[in-house]
Amino acid sequence: MITKYIFGDPVETGAVTAAVEDVSGVARFQVERDKGGIAFRLPLGARDVVYGLGETMGRVNKRGGRYISFNTDTADHEDSNPSLYASHNFLVVDGEAAFGAFFDTPARVVFEIDYQGSGEIYVHCDTQDLRLYQIESDTALGVCRELIAAVGRCYLPPLWAFGYGQSRFGYAAPEDFRKVADGYQKNSLPLDYICMDIDYMEGYRDFSFNQKNFPDIGAFVSEMGSRGIRLVPIVDAGIKVEPGEAVYEEGVRGGYFCRNKEGGFFKAGVWPGMTHFPDFLNTRAREWFGGLYKFYTDAGIEGFWNDMNEPAIFYSEYAKGLKNPLYQLILGMLPGKRRKEKKARELLRDYKSFFHDMDGRRLRHYDVHNLFGAMMTRATSEGLERLLDHRFMLFSRSSYIGANRYGGVWTGDNSSKWEHLRLNVRHMPSLNMCGFLYSGADTGGFGGNCTRELLLRWLAFSVFTPLMRNHTSKFTQNQEAYSFGDVEDFRTVLRLRYRLLPYIYSEYMKAALTADMYIKPLSFVYPEARGIEDQLLVGDSLMIAPVVIEGALSRRVYIPEDMTEVRYNGEFTCRPVSKGEYTVEVGLSEVVFYIRPGKLLPIGKIISNTREYDVSDLTLLGDGETYELYTDDGLTRDCTLENIRVLRK
Binding site for ligand MIG (CB under 6 A): 169, 197-198, 234, 307-308, 397, 412-413, 446, 471
Between CA 103 and CA 134 the distance in angstroms is: 9
Q: Report the distance separating Cα 606 and Cα 589, nearest Å.
A: 17
Q: How many CB atoms lie within 10 A of CB 216?
A: 11
Query: Closest CB to ligand MIG among 192 and 206?
Result: 206
Min dist. Cβ of residue 83 to ligand MIG (A): 15
Q: How far is the CB of 397 from ligand MIG (least distance, A)?
A: 6
Which of 198/544 has CB closer to ligand MIG? Answer: 198
Least distance (Å) between residue 480 CB and ligand MIG: 15
DSSP characters over 341-369: HHHHHHHHHHHTSEEEEETTEEEEHHHHG
Beta strands 468-470 and 442-443 are parallel
Indicate the burial class of 576 (C-beta count within 10 angstroms; 0-12, 13-18, 19 or more): exposed
Q: Which is nearer to ligand MIG, 176 or 385 (CB)?
A: 176
Element of type H or E holding 93: strand 90-94
Q: How many CA atoms lie within 13 A of 489 on its CB side?
A: 19
For the residues of 5-32, what is the DSSP string, one character each? EEESS--------S--EE-TT--SSEEE
Nearer to ligand MIG, 201 or 592 (CB): 201
Nearer to ligand MIG, 167 or 609 (CB): 167
Give the Cα separation of 500 and 627 in Å (integer).
14
Give least dist CB 289 to ligand MIG, A: 18
In the bound state with ligand MIG, the residue whose beta carbon lies nearer, of 373 and 402, is: 373
Helix-strand-coil split of the chain, %, nearest 5: 30, 30, 45
The smaller minimum CB distance to ligand MIG, of residues 381 and 415, is found at 415
Contact 111, 123 (CB under 8 A): yes
What's the CA gap between 452 and 477, in Å, rounded? Answer: 11
**Measured CA distances, 368 to 71, 261, 311, 364 (Å):** 11, 16, 12, 7
What distance in Å separates the CA atoms of residue 30 and residue 20, rounded to the nearest whole number?
Answer: 22
Instruction: Answer yes or no: are the C-beta atoms of 594 and 545 closer than 8 Å.
Output: yes
Report the amino acid identity of residue 359: D
The distance of closest approach from Cβ of residue 351 to ligand MIG in the complex, given in angstroms and rounded to an integer, is: 18
Give min distance, CB of 472 to ligand MIG, in A: 8
Minimum separation from the CB atom of position 531 to ligand MIG (A): 32
* CB nearer to ligand MIG: pick between 412 and 440: 412
**Alpha carbon of residue 637 to chain centroid:** 21
CB 442 to ligand MIG: min, Å:
7
The least CB distance from residue 395 to ligand MIG, in Å, is: 11
Closest separation between CB of residue 261 and ligand MIG, Å? Answer: 26
* Minimum distance from residue 28 beta carbon to ligand MIG (Å): 38
Ranges of H-type helices in 39-139:
none
- Angstrom distance (rounded) from CA 567 to CA 573: 5
**Of 63 and 323, CB closest to ligand MIG:** 323
The candidate with the shortest Cα–Cα distance to 391, out of 197, 605, 610, is 610
Q: Which is nearer to ligand MIG, 198 or 496 (CB)?
A: 198
CA distance 532 to 521: 8
Instruction: Report the residue number, 82 or 332, with the smaller CB distance to ligand MIG.
Output: 332
Considering the complex, what minimum distance in angstroms separates the CB of residue 88 from ligand MIG? Answer: 18
Closer residue to ligand MIG, CB minimum distance, 296 or 498:
296
Q: Looking at beta carbons only, is 234 or 258 nearer to ligand MIG?
A: 234
How buried is 138 (Cβ within 10 angstroms: 0-12 exposed, 13-18 middle, 19+ buried)?
A: exposed
Q: Which residues of 326-361 are buried (b: 16+ CB within 10 A; e: fewer)?
A: eebbebbeeeeeeebeebeebbeebbebbbbbbeee
In whole angstroms, how close is the CB of 4 to ligand MIG at the nearest point? Answer: 34
Q: Which is nearer to ligand MIG, 330 or 574 (CB)?
A: 330
Give CA–CA dist 483/199, Å, rounded: 21
Q: How far apart are CA 497 and CA 502, in angstroms?
A: 10
Looking at the Cβ atoms of 397 and 491, the one nearer to ligand MIG is 397
Q: What is the Cα–Cα distance from 571 to 554, expressed in whole angstroms?
A: 19
For the bound state, the minimum distance from the C-beta of residue 270 to ligand MIG, rounded and expressed in Å, comes to 8
- Measured from the CB atom, the residue of 195 and 229 that comes closer to ligand MIG is 195
Q: Shortest CA distance to 626 belongs to which of 642, 643, 602, 605?
A: 602
Residue nearest ligand MIG, CB atom distance = 169
For the bound state, the minimum distance from the C-beta of residue 199 to ligand MIG, rounded and expressed in Å, comes to: 8
87 to each of 103, 302, 609, 635, how far by Cα in Å?
10, 27, 35, 30
359 near 279, Cβ under 8 Å?
A: no
The CA-atom distances, in angstroms, between 258 and each of 206, 262, 623 are: 17, 12, 58
CA angle 69, 468, 88 (to 5 degrees): 15
For the bound state, the minimum distance from the C-beta of residue 412 to ligand MIG, rounded and expressed in Å, comes to 5
